[in-house]
Structures are given as structure tokens and as C-alpha cells.
Amino acid sequence: MTGGVPPAPLRGRPTRFAHLVRRFGRSLLRRRPTPADEAFVQATLTPVERAVWRRFPPSEASYTIRVARRAEALLADAGVDPADTRWTAAALLHDAGKLDAGLGLFGRVLATVTGALVPPVRRSNGRLGRYLHHAEIGASLLRAAGARPEVAAWAAVHHDPAGWAEGGIPPDVARALAAADDA
């Protein structure tokens, strides 16, 4: 993120609104990860990364698994070695900073709409401000926990295409991870 301004998720990305509506609908289902999902997470994340991931509420945990599974397929198409789990782990933990805000489903909806309609929302100590700045907060959380550097780097720049190269994310990997999140 540049200048501490959160991304405007609805501007300039017509598919972003549809993505958010679908995500809201899935969140209402509050599906828990299946045993197969849990095994996928176990095989992908390091112990310290799993400790962070386990803090997600069930609907968010299921969402991150959907993103990571899509990312895994897109990364394979981009020629990334499937044994290299760094980037799939990055997909699982890209929204770790949202944990700090402590918002429920409707609070997250309010924060997202507010961030889209009233940019730039300046950083605040409030929960809404923390949610809107989840990228930088998540990166700090992951670094402090001892996550792999690439996982923290993607958390920091996942909403900022201009920062992908700056974050050390290979272009093909960044495009695959972003597409997986927006699908």
C-alpha cells in the first residue's frame, strides 16, 4: 500500500463487486472446513502459519481454502512447482490482518462499503480502520509469528498491483494469486 491509503475495492474493478456479493452469500452459510480441507491446510502451512490460520472464523477459513485451492490450480498453470507451498500458503493467509479488527459479517460488509464509498479513509485505531488496513496489519502479524517471508509479503501487497514487484512477488505468481482471490 502506498501512502497508508486502503484500496478502493469497488472502483476500477467491475468484477470486484460481484466477487464481494458472492463472498457475502457464502459467508451466510458459515460452512466449517471439512476434514479434507483441514488436511490441505496441514500440508500447506508451517506450524506457526497454521496457528494464525486457526484464528479465522469458520466462514473466513472456508473462504481462504477456496482461494488457496484456486490459486494452487492457477499457479500450476503458470508453471510453479506444486511442491513449493509458499504461494498457496500466501493465498490461505492473505487476509490475516482482518483478524485484528474483530468484526463480524455485517461489520465487515459495512467496512468494505465504507472503504469503497468514502476513500481515502485514514488509518484509525478503531476496528473499521484496522479492517481497511488489513494488508499491512496482516503482514506485520505474519512476520511477528515467524511466517515465511513470501507469505507476509503477499499479505502486505495483495490489494496493490503496483506493489507486487516491490514486494518481491514474481509477476505470474501475483497474477495467479490475485485471480484466485477475485474469482
pLDDT, tens only, 18-48: 655 665 565 555 578 899 999 999 999 999 9
Tell me the helix, strand and coil percentages in the chain, rounded to 5: 65, 0, 35
Whole-prediction pTM value?
Answer: 0.80
Model confidence at 79: pLDDT above 90: yes
Give pLDDT, residue 107. Answer: 75
Give pLDDT, residue 108. Answer: 73
* Backbone torsion region of residue 122, taken as left when φ is above 0, otherwise alpha when ψ lies between -120 and 50, otherwise beta: beta
Which pLDDT band holds residue 127 (cuts at 50, 70, 90)? confident
Instruction: Please tell me the distance from the alpha carbon of residue 164 to that of residue 167, in angstroms, as a whole number.
Output: 5
Name the residue with higher pLDDT: 59 or 122: 59
Question: Using the 8-state DSSP alphabet, how is residue 17 labeled?
Answer: H
| Residue bearing cell 506450524 | 47
Average pLDDT, the chain: 82
Helix (H) / strand (E) containing 59: helix 58-77
Query: What average pLDDT does range 120-143 have in this prediction?
Result: 79
Model confidence at 11: pLDDT above 50: no
Model confidence at 78: pLDDT above 80: yes
Name the residue with higher pLDDT: 32 or 168: 168
C-alpha cell, 47: 506450524
Give pLDDT, residue 155. Answer: 96
Which pLDDT band holds residue 8 (cuts at 50, 70, 90)? very low
Give pLDDT, residue 39. Answer: 97
